[in-house]
């Protein structure tokens, strides 16, 4: 994170300590975040003096993490029950609620035919999958008026969704806030304050090549947007710009790529393996560096003499990052057979997805068994760091 972001955040005055929740993207993998947040809510409910109010003032979401953020924001006025409702939403989810793909049975008998079919779908709508089911799901599940209600009631200070413009190459943060704020403009990164819509969510979660781009209006003209994880060089900066002093970030990466651990397949990678590697770079490779830099700046500021620190325009930002301790790719390989048959055929069959394509499957497996496995892992990882989480909210 750049120093100008820290300065900008340090100039925002708040009467209460501002905590931000930052949820990163990763398709179906973001079910992991549901488990972490559910466990966190259970911990906080057991604390003396708990008032069950929503524990964050700023919410920032990217890609599928933006869907989780919008869902939470729409229910934040009801307090921590919003976390329970988010879990129920994911528990009822299936792939056909998110996307569809028409691929005849004969496609599965030939890689060449499968590639031709995928290329035809991509040319027709700019992506392999049709995401109109997700549009319908979001309209039914997320009452956007609830976001404004939470802001007006003081349950939240701001909500932000990130997306990347295919048109200009700029990474945009779209914000909705309780009070008037100044947007920021940095090289390659801009912000704009406007009411959030389903179109913003679709743009932020448009996984490249898989989901189609979504048009949005910025600076008085239309641009086409894709997944907010693309060109996201500083995932934490929107939270800091919006006044956060403490940031809890939940990612869905992993300590090492599972393709080089359990289930490694020798030989040249297929389409599924290459696509998974590309998406892993898009979704996960910037978070760790941003967290480390922010923590390093915080340590430096704490080590300064108090007299000097008090006159500097910087404020230390406390960051707690949680990511899976187990390979989500390996979990996905065990559930790859649950993908819709058309998707399995188009991606080379269930065997290809098990043998090296588990990572690609993990982005598309919006099925209860896989979701529950990730939710359980999120709960397990959160409880393993219970002391850190409670200290964060102390």
The stretch 253-257 carries a mean pLDDT of 61
Specify whether the CB–CB gap between 362 and 327 falls below 8 A: no
Distance of CA 215 to the CA centre of its chain: 20
The stretch 88-113 carries a mean pLDDT of 76
Whole-number CA gyration radius for the chain: 21
Three-state helix/strand/coil letters over 351-372? HHHHCCCHHHHHHHCCCHHHHH
Domain boundaries, the chain: 19-254+284-324+367-393
Tokens (6 digits) for 279: 């998406």
Instruction: Please tell me which residue in 148, 157, 227, 290 is annotated as part of the active site.
Output: 227
Measured CA distances, 109 to 112, 349, 350, 351 (Å): 9, 9, 12, 13
Instruction: Please tell me which residue in 5, 63, 165, 204 is annotated as part of the active site.
Output: 63
Just give the CATH number of 19-254+284-324+367-393.
3.40.1090
Q: Read off the pLDDT of residues 224-248 as tens digits, 9 standing for 90 and up.
A: 999 988 878 788 889 999 999 999 9
Band (pLDDT 50/70/90 cuts) for residue 331 is very high
Distance of CA 354 to the CA centre of its chain: 25
CA distance 102 to 88: 29
Mean pLDDT, the chain, whole residue set: 83
The stretch 351-369 carries a mean pLDDT of 77
The sign of the CA dihedral 187, 175, 301, 295 is negative
Tokens (6 digits) for 47: 């604390």
Please say if 227 is a catalytic residue.
Answer: yes
Q: Read off the pLDDT of residues 118-161 as tens digits, 9 standing for 90 and up.
A: 556 665 667 888 999 999 999 999 999 999 999 999 999 999 99
Specify whether the CB–CB gap between 37 and 45 falls below 8 A: no
Residue 311, pLDDT above cutoff 80: no
Instruction: Look at 207-216, 245-254, 284-293 and tell me which has the smallest mean pLDDT.
Output: 284-293
Tokens 């008026």 belong to residue: 145
Band (pLDDT 50/70/90 cuts) for residue 210 is confident
Please say if 5 is a catalytic residue.
Answer: no
**Does residue 347 sit in helix, strand or coil?**
coil
């Amino acid at each position: 994170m750049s120093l100008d972001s820290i300065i900008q955040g340090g100039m925002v005055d708040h009467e209460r300590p501002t905590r931000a929740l930052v949820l990163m993207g990763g398709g179906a993998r973001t079910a992991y975040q549901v488990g972490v947040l559910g466990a966190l809510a259970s911990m906080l409910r057991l604390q003396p003096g708990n008032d069950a109010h929503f524990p964050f003032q700023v919410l920032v979401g990217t890609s599928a993490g933006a869907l989780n953020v919008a869902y939470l924001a729409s229910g934040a006025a009801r307090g921590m029950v919003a976390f329970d409702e988010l879990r129920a939403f994911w528990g009822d989810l299936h792939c056909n609620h998110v996307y569809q793909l028409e691929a005849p049975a004969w496609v599965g008998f030939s890689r060449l035919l499968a590639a031709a079919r995928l290329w035809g779908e991509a040319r027709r709508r700019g992506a392999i999958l049709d995401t109109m089911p997700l549009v319908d799901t979001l309209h039914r599940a997320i009452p956007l008026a609830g976001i404004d209600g939470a802001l007006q009631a003081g349950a939240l200070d701001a909500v932000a969704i990130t997306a990347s413009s295919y048109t200009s190459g700029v990474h945009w943060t779209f914000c909705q806030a309780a009070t008037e704020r100044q947007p920021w403009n940095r090289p390659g990164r801009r912000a704009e304050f406007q009411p959030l819509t389903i179109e913003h969510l679709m743009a932020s979660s448009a996984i490249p090549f898989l989901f189609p781009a979504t048009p949005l209006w910025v600076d008085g003209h239309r641009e086409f947007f894709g997944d907010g994880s693309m060109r996201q060089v500083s995932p934490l900066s929107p939270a800091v710009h919006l006044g956060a002093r403490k940031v809890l970030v939940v990612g869905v990466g992993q300590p090492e790529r599972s393709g080089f651990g359990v289930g490694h397949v020798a030989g040249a990678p297929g389409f599924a393996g290459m696509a998974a590697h590309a998406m892993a770079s898009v979704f996960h490779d910037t978070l760790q560096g941003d967290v480390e830099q922010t923590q390093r700046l915080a340590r430096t500021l704490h080590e300064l003499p108090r007299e000097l620190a008090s006159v500097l325009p910087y404020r230390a930002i406390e960051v707690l990052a949680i990511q899976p301790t187990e390979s989500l790719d390996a979990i996905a390989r065990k559930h790859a057979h649950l993908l819709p048959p058309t998707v399995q055929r188009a991606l080379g069959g269930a065997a290809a997805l098990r043998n090296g394509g588990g990572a690609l499957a993990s982005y598309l497996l919006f099925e209860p068994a896989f979701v529950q496995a990730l939710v359980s892992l999120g709960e397990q990882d959160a409880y393993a760091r219970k002391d850190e989480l409670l200290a964060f909210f102390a």
